Amino acid sequence: MSFPRGDRLLEFVAVSLAATFTVVGALDAQQISEFRSNVSNTFGRASWGQASWGMMVVSLDAGDTLFAVEPDSALAPASNLKLLTSAAALRALGAEYRFRTYVITNGEVDEGIVDGDLILYGTGDPGISDRFYPRKDEVFHRLIDQLAALGIHTVRGDLVGDASYLPGPLRPAGWEADDLNEHFAGAVSALSYNENVVSFQVVPSQAGQRPLVTTVPPHSGLQVLNTAETVTGSARPRLAILRDKPLDPVRVQGRVGVGTRDVWRQMTVSVPAHFTASSFRESLKERGIEIRGGIRIVETPEESALGKFSAPALGRRSARVLARHISEPLPAYLEVVNKESNNLFAELLYRTIGRVKRGSGSSKASARAIRSELEDIGIDMSSVVQLDGSGLSAGNRVSAATFVEVIDRMANSPEWTAFWASLPEAGRRRGLRRMYRTAAVGNLRAKTGTIAGVSALSGMVRSANGERLAFSIIVNGTPSQNRAKGVENQIGALLASFERVDETNAPEHVTEPLVSPRDETADTGNRHHVAPGDNLSMIADRYGITLSDLLQANPNVDANRIRTGQWLKIPTRRGSD
């Protein structure tokens, strides 16, 4: 059957739903009729033009398909692709994986003087910024603390920014040229700082003079051509901060009014390794460590003092580790990937998977490594085309059925708790800010996806009687992304309120939270050990107590925030022994 388009979509959805409900069988007829009507109305409220849809919903408890519309059609998934990257990262790297950044020398150290180069060696950590730390350069100062403890005060050679651990193009070939200046398309490098983005600040000066242009953080290494003018009078200020290509100079042009507000714009840096090394050098200078040479960048293993080895400890004997930084564990990074849909974090995990499993951080090696990891747990990857780790490339292809399989297999794996905790939660300000005042709030978790003409939502929700429903909704060629997301919201709410009436088909453990039965989270005596993804309402439901009882038993707990690893006292359930 050809894929439905335009006016045929509504008819196709109705026929497909009728067929799948016939297969399901023992469901309440009124509920089926209402559900079908609501889904049909959801699609029928607007014209979809030439849009192509792929949808699937499967009950992980009953094992049946509730509905499917061309589930095997491979479509551009946008950021839903991050689900594949995240699942493979947990399997290939493990939840305890941490990035490491080293300061090394190829020379001798004598009486505080390094007789050689000082090498800043990165292994792909995108978190060297103020995302995880009090200030942007916190990691630099932690490394410098270790140098200071060795008494180092002078380096006779160069400061080398070594990004050879992940050689390859800084920008995936499938990314749109118009996106490459934008903050969400930072260059991919083994040595990164401030997520490879700077903010330009343009401050009006005196009339007739150039405005002052600075970057935050400084030392961006970007060439700036400032032809703008500060003006007075009634002329309307019009300022532009432009760059045609990532390696071109940045042009500041137009006019800005005297006494007006500063103008800001974010832009990606051209060469992340140079930006990182330049910023590190300034921190060294601030702490009194002199670099007598210049800044040099290394991008291939052949140039590196460490050769082709995967860590400095295994490198050439002439390389000595002076300091090292170890990042937060992988789950902290996955939350940035999925809850904030951060492309740089996803790309560096993607490339790291290839480096660790295949010995190469190239896109092809990374795609092969992810395919292997997911095929090992029974996911059919035959129709998947993966060109990057983030989904920013329009050439990626994944089907709705594949995303449902990923959710299904991960839900029955030891990695489920960390995977589930990384997904945005419906109705939460810091999660999926949608589906407010529906049964999906605090229940549905899913990854969003948006690029030009594409919208997607894939994840899991519990039905009204507790069934775990894995779902994926993808549309390509939509005339309105807002309209498409409205459909996603309505279907998510419908699934959250869906209920079976045939008790023989109902799942046995509908009151358990959405965690794997293999979850090792300890419930010891009358205490509960908080796991990733837990919230107070979920914990109260698990133990058959009220939220009020739980809060009363834990007076020092913030009702709006609990921490993973925290212990909670569980009061005795009223009416029980």
Last residue in a domain, options 313, 330, 347: 330
**Is residue 573 predicted with pLDDT exceeding 90?**
no
- pLDDT score recorded for residue 511: 32
Whether residue 574 lies inside any domain: the answer is no
Whether residue 111 lies inside any domain: the answer is yes
- pLDDT score recorded for residue 521: 37
More confident residue, 39 or 357: 357
- pLDDT score recorded for residue 546: 77
One domain, residues 250 and 302 = no
Report the C-alpha gap between 117 and 104 in whole angstroms. 8
* pLDDT digit string, tens, across residues 68-82: 888 999 999 999 999
* pLDDT digit string, tens, across residues 353-403: 999 999 999 999 999 999 999 999 999 999 999 999 999 999 999 999 999
Tell me, rounded to whole angstroms, the distance of Cα 443 from its chain centroid: 20
Report the C-alpha gap between 441 and 435 in whole angstroms. 7
One domain, residues 389 and 486 = yes
Kindly state the DSSP code that residue 503 receives in the 8-state scheme: G
- pLDDT score recorded for residue 308: 62
Starting from the edge strand earliest in sequence, which strands make up the sheet with 65-69, in order?
A: 65-69, 52-59, 468-476, 454-462, 445-451
One domain, residues 380 and 473 = yes
203, 228 contact by CB (below 8 A)? no
What does the mean pLDDT of the chain come to? 84
Whether residue 514 lies inside any domain: the answer is no
**Is residue 43 predicted with pLDDT exceeding 90?**
no
Tell me the average pLDDT across 478-507: 79
- pLDDT score recorded for residue 323: 97
- pLDDT score recorded for residue 441: 92
The per-residue b/e assignment along 314-348, b for 16 or more CB within 10 angstroms, e otherwise, is ebeeebbbbbbbebbbbbbbbbbbbbebbbbbbbb
56, 472 contact by CB (below 8 A)? yes
One domain, residues 53 and 124 = no
- pLDDT score recorded for residue 155: 97
Whether residue 233 lies inside any domain: the answer is yes
Main-chain phi, psi angles of 63, to 5 degrees = 80, 15
* pLDDT digit string, tens, across residues 512-531: 333 333 333 333 346 776 76
Q: Partners of 38 in the beta sheet? A: none
**Number of compact structural domains in the chain:** 4
Last residue in a domain, options 268, 293, 317: 268
- pLDDT score recorded for residue 507: 45
Tell me the average pLDDT across 394-413: 96
* pLDDT digit string, tens, across residues 196-207: 999 999 999 999
* pLDDT digit string, tens, across residues 454-488: 999 999 999 988 889 999 999 999 988 888 998 89
* pLDDT digit string, tens, across residues 184-196: 999 999 999 999 9
One domain, residues 391 and 462 = yes
One domain, residues 402 and 428 = yes
One domain, residues 119 and 231 = no
What residues contact 323, with CB distance under 8 A and at least 6 apart?
102, 103, 143, 144, 145, 146, 147
Structure tokens at 127: 């978190």
More confident residue, 148 or 427: 148
Whether residue 511 lies inside any domain: the answer is no
Tell me the average pLDDT across 97-114: 95
Q: Domain span at residue 208? A: 177-268
Is residue 452 helix, strand or coil? coil
Kindly state the DSSP code that residue 514 receives in the 8-state scheme: S
Whether residue 2 lies inside any domain: the answer is no
Report the C-alpha gap between 427 and 5 in whole angstroms. 31
Report the CATH number at residue 411: 3.40.710.10
Report the CATH number at residue 541: 3.10.350.10
Is residue 86 helix, strand or coil? helix
What residues contact 377, with CB distance under 8 A and at least 6 apart?
91, 409, 410, 413
Taking Cα atoms as reference points, which of 7, 133, 24 lies closest to residue 469? 24
Taking Cα atoms as reference points, which of 86, 75, 15 lies closest to residue 402? 75
One domain, residues 88 and 237 = no
Taking Cα atoms as reference points, which of 206, 201, 208, 194 lies closest to residue 224? 201
**Is residue 408 predicted with pLDDT exceeding 90?**
yes
Whether residue 152 lies inside any domain: the answer is yes
Least confident span in 26-30, 56-60, 276-280, 322-326: 26-30
**Is residue 273 predicted with pLDDT exceeding 50?**
yes
Whether residue 520 lies inside any domain: the answer is no
Q: Partners of 57 in the beta sheet? A: 67, 471
Greatest extent of the chain over all pairs of C-alpha atoms, in Å = 85
DSSP of 337-378: HHHS--HHHHHHHHHHHHHHHHS--SHHHHHHHHHHHHHTTT
- pLDDT score recorded for residue 514: 38
Is residue 212 helix, strand or coil? strand
Report the C-alpha gap between 315 and 237 in whole angstroms. 56
One domain, residues 257 and 203 = yes
Where helices occur in 498-576 by DSSP H, the ranges are: 536-542, 547-553
Least confident span in 143-147, 309-313, 443-447: 309-313
One domain, residues 409 and 482 = yes
**Is residue 101 predicted with pLDDT exceeding 50?**
yes
188, 351 contact by CB (below 8 A)? yes
Is residue 450 helix, strand or coil? strand
85, 531 contact by CB (below 8 A)? no
One domain, residues 144 and 245 = no
One domain, residues 254 and 296 = no
**Is residue 162 predicted with pLDDT exceeding 90?**
yes
Taking Cα atoms as reference points, which of 132, 101, 105, 100 lies closest to residue 289? 105
